[in-house]
A and B are shown apart, each in its own frame.
Chain A
Amino acid sequence: MVNSSRTPVLQTEALTIRFGGHVAVDRVSAAFEAGSLTAIVGPNGAGKTTYFNLISGQLPPSSGTVYLNERDISRWPVAKRARHGLGRAFQLTQLFPNLTVEENLGLVVQARHGLGHRIWTLASRQQAVRTEVESLLDTIGLTERADDFARALSHGAQRRLEVGMMLAMDPQVMMFDEPTAGMSVDEAPVLLELIHRIKNEQDRTILLVEHKLDVIRTLADRILVLHNGRLLADGEPESVMQLDVVRQAYLGELSDEEVA
């Protein structure tokens, strides 16, 4: 990525989707640059996950455009977008439950290396894939559980594997959808620390849906506020949080301690 600082890696233009009469995402335009971490906030049902679905391709837009590295990818299927650098960790955990933790990660790594069509090598003998999987296991702290079925993991461990599978894609754009939801109090900071490290060390474009304001303050360069599918505000964390509309629409609905 030469010249990464100014041209946006990811951009949405008047992105819209309707479900019947309900407009879940309403003409959202935003651009995301390399090396930036953007927090996306908004009350339940604001359209955050739906916005992600439009970007990673699980839903087709009713109108509007998604650009990845200035190419229009609005009509691309999900798998193609993934291969071109859109990584997504889901709000509702999406694992391969009856495969081991190692196999879950191995599948992602071999997908990235384009090995999935190999029919005549043994998966267990792919040293490069194994080495990568080992380091990923270490990163998400699941080395001990490598041979367990994904479905046998605790909720928190499943959340970590969910994030690990996205990291395994080594994507240019990382979309985290409430990654710490349901994690225990000592698991969540570890994961946030990891996201922080990724942001500082690498030239990623990170989108993070997160409810906890203290987290957003420390991590985010920028905040997008969604409300009823509309983009209500977009800017630096401190200034966005001062806006009256935001305080009413979003912060006002939260408990006092989080606003403080």
Chain B
Amino acid sequence: MFQSIRDTLPQSRILRGLLAVIVVSLLLAPFIFDGSRALDTAARLCIFIVLVASYDLLLGYTGVVSFAHTLFFGIGAYSVAIAFDHVAPGFGVLLVAVVVALGVSTVVAVTIGLVSLRVKAIFYAMITLAVASVATVLVSQLYLYTGGEDGMTYRIPRVLTPAFKLLDDKVLGVRINGKLLNYYLIFTVSTVLFLLMVRIVASPFGKVLKALRENDFRAEAIGYTTVYYRTAATVISACMATLAGVLMAIWLRYTGPDSVLSLNIMIDILLMVVIGGMGSLYGAIIGATLLVLARNYLNEAMGVAHNAFIDVPILAELFNPERWLLWLGVLFVVMVYFFPLGIVGRLVRGRADHG
């Protein structure tokens, strides 16, 4: 398994270095960063890496434009939320919830995937957008089960909460409690899912997905039934997103439209894929890291700048923390301008392009 992962690693030294820094930081996050906010950021990052990679499987590898990805993220999260809230916060319940969620996602993904047989890419994209909106409406209508717009807060298994203490003493200044276990659960599952996707992409099946992206007419003409492959890619991508949703529900102990279903999240995913580089799963790590950090800390960094320039009239206004979204936009435009292939695309391409 590890030998084969090495085969798939990007060639670029800079990229490998960057990835190593991110992965090691996430691995040691509880011990090297202070405070629950940092840990929260790290956990979200793990989850978003899986979510973004699973979206890239569809967009970057298979060339399918779908806006329904948050739908599957939501199916995972709401299954767990509803199960914990309406049944009980236990691992048996969790297992059932995960199985049900994967089943529902598969059925929805197959249905949507088969639609791709009949319609052109642009209509397919619109259909997925419509399906995603319907899901949002459904969630707010079925508030008895879903908590509607407010979402739902619930309890999770006690071993995953700060109340559960493994050791009385701190280790390296860190409490060894359920919260820590929870983080490592998220980290481990995310890592396994990510490596699974890396493996899939490097398989003969993964090659076929790229062929669909490049020229599905020819893929069909050499004997691949393209609908079958496109549907399979949709299902795998959907199931990965569902599992990411499960992790999100466990970590946040809250599930609501804003945390898993909203269009904003879909846009974030798109930005992360594009910034990191489409068609490279490792790009998902880079893109997600940049955007999650920006979302969480740009605000603050600007606060610092704002205070530093408090006497300079225009600059102070420019760095007003309220305007962080503007800066995110600027960052994005700059990124796309200088790295049209995404960061990973920029670092990897060139090799096969001479002649």
Nearest A residue to B225 via CB reads: A79
B12 lies within 8 A of chain A by Cβ: no
> In which size bucket is the chain A interface?
35 or more
Within 8 Å CB of A96, what residues of B?
210-211, 214-215, 218-219
**Contact assessment for A107 and B211 in the assembled complex, using a CB-CB cutoff below 8 Å:** yes
Please pick, from A79, A90, A97, A165, the residue contacting B220 in the complex, using a CB distance under 8 A.
A79
**Shortest CB distance A115–B (Å):** 5
A243 lies within 8 A of chain B by Cβ: no
A82 lies within 8 A of chain B by Cβ: yes
B234 lies within 8 A of chain A by Cβ: no
Given contact pairs A116-B224, A122-B7, A98 touches B214 in the complex (Cβ within 8 A): yes
B355 lies within 8 A of chain A by Cβ: yes
Within 8 Å CB of A97, what residues of B?
214-215
Query: Quick one: which of A36-85 are within 8 Å of B by CB?
Result: 56, 58, 77-80, 82-83
A108 to B208, alpha carbons, bound, how many Å? 10
**Contact assessment for A56 and B202 in the assembled complex, using a CB-CB cutoff below 8 Å:** no
**Contact assessment for A153 and B355 in the assembled complex, using a CB-CB cutoff below 8 Å:** yes
**Contact assessment for B203 and A169 in the assembled complex, using a CB-CB cutoff below 8 Å:** no
Within 8 Å CB of A120, what residues of B?
199, 203
**Contact assessment for A118 and B210 in the assembled complex, using a CB-CB cutoff below 8 Å:** no
Within 8 Å CB of A99, what residues of B?
210-211, 214
A88 lies within 8 A of chain B by Cβ: yes
A254 lies within 8 A of chain B by Cβ: no
**Contact assessment for A111 and B224 in the assembled complex, using a CB-CB cutoff below 8 Å:** yes
Within 8 Å CB of B225, what residues of A?
77, 79-80
Residue from B219, B223, B351 with most neighbouring chain A CB atoms (10 Å): B223
Within 8 Å CB of B215, what residues of A?
94-97
Residues of A near any B CB (own CB < 8 A): 56, 58, 77-80, 82-83, 88, 90, 94-100, 103, 106-108, 110-112, 115-126, 145, 147-149, 152-153, 165, 168-169
A54 to B325, alpha carbons, bound, how many Å? 55
Within 8 Å CB of A165, what residues of B?
218, 222
**Contact assessment for B353 and A83 in the assembled complex, using a CB-CB cutoff below 8 Å:** no
**Shortest CB distance B341–A (Å):** 11
**Shortest CB distance A169–B (Å):** 6
Please pick, from B200, B202, B222, B232, the residue contacting A82 in the complex, using a CB distance under 8 A.
B222
**Contact assessment for A123 and B221 in the assembled complex, using a CB-CB cutoff below 8 Å:** no
A33 to B226, alpha carbons, bound, how many Å? 31
A90 to B354, alpha carbons, bound, how many Å? 25
A216 to B106, alpha carbons, bound, how many Å? 54
**Contact assessment for B223 and A123 in the assembled complex, using a CB-CB cutoff below 8 Å:** no
A128 to B159, alpha carbons, bound, how many Å? 50
Nearest B residue to A109 via CB reads: B222
A130 to B215, alpha carbons, bound, how many Å? 22
Please pick, from A77, A119, A148, the residue contacting B203 in the complex, using a CB distance under 8 A.
A119
Query: Quick one: which of B181-223 are within 8 Å of A by CB?
Result: 199-200, 202-208, 210-211, 214-215, 217-223
* Chain B 325-355 near chain A by CB (<8 Å), digits 1 or 0: 0000000000000000000000000011111
Since A77-B220, A117-B204, A120-B199 are in contact, a sample of 13 more A-B pairs with Cβ atoms closer than 8 Å, ordered by chain A residue number, is: A56-B221, A78-B220, A80-B225, A96-B219, A97-B214, A97-B215, A103-B207, A107-B222, A111-B222, A116-B229, A121-B203, A165-B218, A169-B222
29 pairs across A/B with beta carbons < 8 Å?
A: A77-B220, A78-B220, A79-B220, A79-B225, A83-B223, A88-B221, A94-B218, A94-B221, A96-B210, A96-B211, A96-B219, A97-B214, A99-B210, A106-B207, A108-B222, A111-B224, A116-B205, A116-B224, A116-B229, A119-B204, A121-B203, A122-B202, A122-B203, A123-B202, A125-B4, A147-B352, A148-B353, A152-B352, A165-B222
A149 to B221, alpha carbons, bound, how many Å? 20
A134 to B322, alpha carbons, bound, how many Å? 60
A123 to B211, alpha carbons, bound, how many Å? 13
Count of A-B contacts judged by CB separation below 8 Å? 114
**Shortest CB distance B208–A (Å):** 5
**Shortest CB distance A139–B (Å):** 17
A83 to B214, alpha carbons, bound, how many Å? 20
Within 8 Å CB of B354, what residues of A?
148, 152
**Contact assessment for B202 and A94 in the assembled complex, using a CB-CB cutoff below 8 Å:** no
User: Closest 6 interchain pairs by CB?
Assistant: A96-B214, A82-B223, A94-B218, A111-B223, A119-B205, A83-B223
Given contact pairs A56-B221, A79-B226, A118 touches B203 in the complex (Cβ within 8 A): yes
Within 8 Å CB of B200, what residues of A?
119
Nearest B residue to A56 via CB reads: B221
**Shortest CB distance A146–B (Å):** 10
**Contact assessment for A117 and B205 in the assembled complex, using a CB-CB cutoff below 8 Å:** yes
Within 8 Å CB of A149, what residues of B?
352-353
Please pick, from A98, A117, A124, A153, the residue contacting B202 in the complex, using a CB distance under 8 A.
A124
Nearest B residue to A106 via CB reads: B207
**Contact assessment for A123 and B204 in the assembled complex, using a CB-CB cutoff below 8 Å:** yes
Please pick, from B4, B204, B220, the residue contacting A110 in the complex, using a CB distance under 8 A.
B204
**Contact assessment for B352 and A123 in the assembled complex, using a CB-CB cutoff below 8 Å:** no
Within 8 Å CB of A112, what residues of B?
223
Please pick, from B204, B218, B219, the residue contacting A118 in the complex, using a CB distance under 8 A.
B204
A77 to B211, alpha carbons, bound, how many Å? 18
**Shortest CB distance B185–A (Å):** 25
Query: Quick one: which of B209-252 are within 8 Å of A by CB?
Result: 210-211, 214-215, 217-226, 229, 232
**Shortest CB distance A132–B (Å):** 14
Query: Quick one: which of B1-60 are within 8 Å of A by CB?
Result: 4, 7
**Shortest CB distance B230–A (Å):** 12
A95 to B219, alpha carbons, bound, how many Å? 9
